[in-house]
Amino acid sequence: MTKTQTAEPLVASDVLERVLAKGRSTGAEFAEVYIEDKRSTSAGLDDGKVEQVTSGRDRGAGIRVVSGETTGFAHTSDLSERGLLAAAEAAAIAAKQGGGGVNKVQLGAVLRHSVNTVKISPDGVEKSRKVDLLKRADAAARSVNSAIVQVSAGYGDSLRRILVANSNGVLSADDQVRTLLRVSVVATGDGGMQTGYDSLGHTIGFELFDENDVEELAIRAAKQAVTKLSARPAPSGAMPVVIKRGSGGVLFHEACGHGLEADLVGKSASVYRGKMGELVASPLVTLVDDGTMTAEWGAIGIDDEGHPSQRNTLIQDGVLTDYMWDYLRARKEGRAQSGNGRRQSYQHLPMVRMTNTFVLNGTQDPDDIVRDTKHGVYIAKLGGGQVDTASGDFVFGMAEAYLIENGEITEPLRESNLIGNGPEVLKDIDLLGNDFAMGNPGMCGKDGQGVPVGDGQPTLRVRSLTIGGTAA
């Protein structure tokens, strides 16, 4: 991580000071200004055609005022001092009716935090080169097999500059650059159509494509679709499940990640409440959330409350060691924030969110994990998931999966969901590989807000998970 000072913040410090003072003018103890200026470019190819290149600009401020247990919030796309003061007044009134008083706020120099270095800023790259990636992906996917009947590909980059100031004297900035490519493929055969999908995304610039092969990505997506053409219905019932490295961090995201968010724990809406220091997972499991993980999709220099990102160990050798925290929840408990206060945009209130969440390596050879499994399912690519944090019940999809018979990976399976209960599944992890890898870029939704997150894990086995297929 680097900390440097910079001369050109999005809004001048003296303006921020006056806006924060206005935010506290009704007697509130905390005010915060969040400034965002985001430029994005996206391009979509479908049906062999580059359909559209889109340029986007989102710019504005969110102002939060906290008085006791009440948070007032207002946002504006007007970044002039007049616009900011009006929003601050609205937030102050929202937080507290009546009251009064003047609260002077003094800010120091802007602390700029960054966990990633951008070699090639996407806004300096010709749009034609971005579009070219899509054409290459399309051609590569179609070259795999004549069964490929449709390809869609999307490119996206964003430069998100944020500046956060609050009445506690925090003044931090971060420039977050993300670059992404995704490919979806449809293949057709006697049994109907099947789909394949793969994506590549990092918190870096256009050098993403110097370090990764677009054709390889497209071919993987195409092969997934073709393989599934001969897939048989997924089984039903509970059985051992082996999850390939880097394909299923979403398992932990749903099985325990959300349940370790302090806002849910604080309202006793998590199955992990009151479990600090207890064994909540197999002793094989050490779970980390790490916003500093350079270049990964969930990497951030500061969270959206201006707190530097950090590495937090949540579960150590199966024992629950910490939850994830934002400003409000940490303040209530009288403890430090953990860099997990995030928001979708200036139009949203921050809350506790994950960054990059992953399980550390075990010791097993991944091949041995499969060999050790007599009958079960091997998942090469997981889809999305969903959890009820209170009960711990969660589902996640398997986008590419195979049967394991007598210790060997055999026939491909059609898509289905899997269902399990978080605490039970965590304790049921009985083999953990030594082949850690991060997974695909993800978008995590909570309370209507989406934020980019990463996940990762080595190959592992869950002794028993319920597969939601149709075969008896």
**Residue 46 in contact with another protein, rule: CB under 8 A:** yes
**Residue 227 in contact with another protein, rule: CB under 8 A:** no
- Least Å distance, CB 310 to another protein, is 26
Cα–Cα separations (whole angstroms), residue 257 to 288, 365, 400, 426? 10, 26, 23, 11
Q: Which stretch binds another protein (CB under 8 A): 208-216, 284-292, 431-439, 462-470?
A: 462-470
Rounded Cα distance between 66 and 91, Å, is: 9
- Least Å distance, CB 464 to another protein, is 9
**Residue 58 in contact with another protein, rule: CB under 8 A:** yes
Beta-carbon count within 10 A of 169 CB: 11
- Least Å distance, CB 72 to another protein, is 5
> Residues 129 to 158: which contact another protein by CB under 8 A?
130-131, 149-150
- Least Å distance, CB 183 to another protein, is 15
**Residue 193 in contact with another protein, rule: CB under 8 A:** yes
**Residue 238 in contact with another protein, rule: CB under 8 A:** yes
* Of residues 76 and 364, the one with the C-beta less far from another protein: 76
Candidate residues 13, 103, 145, 236; the one interacting with another protein per rule CB under 8 A: 236
Candidate residues 11, 26, 33, 76; the one interacting with another protein per rule CB under 8 A: 76
- Least Å distance, CB 448 to another protein, is 10
**Residue 68 in contact with another protein, rule: CB under 8 A:** yes
Q: Which stretch binds another protein (CB under 8 A): 165-173, 185-193, 297-305, 316-324?
A: 185-193
**Residue 74 in contact with another protein, rule: CB under 8 A:** yes
* Of residues 99 and 384, the one with the C-beta less far from another protein: 384
**Residue 10 in contact with another protein, rule: CB under 8 A:** no
**Residue 60 in contact with another protein, rule: CB under 8 A:** yes
Q: Which two tokens stand for residue 297?
A: 């999709």
- Least Å distance, CB 379 to another protein, is 12
User: Residues 85-115, buried b or exposed e (16+ Cβ, 10 A)?
Assistant: bbbbbbbbbbbbeeeeeebebebeebbbbbb
* Of residues 324 and 349, the one with the C-beta less far from another protein: 349
> Residues 364 to 423: which contact another protein by CB under 8 A?
383-386, 388, 390-391, 393-397, 414-421
Tokens 């399976």 belong to 413
- Least Å distance, CB 43 to another protein, is 7
* Of residues 7 and 192, the one with the C-beta less far from another protein: 192
Candidate residues 24, 75, 136, 329; the one interacting with another protein per rule CB under 8 A: 75
**Residue 13 in contact with another protein, rule: CB under 8 A:** no
Q: How many residues bind another protein (CB under 8 A)?
A: 82
**Residue 186 in contact with another protein, rule: CB under 8 A:** yes
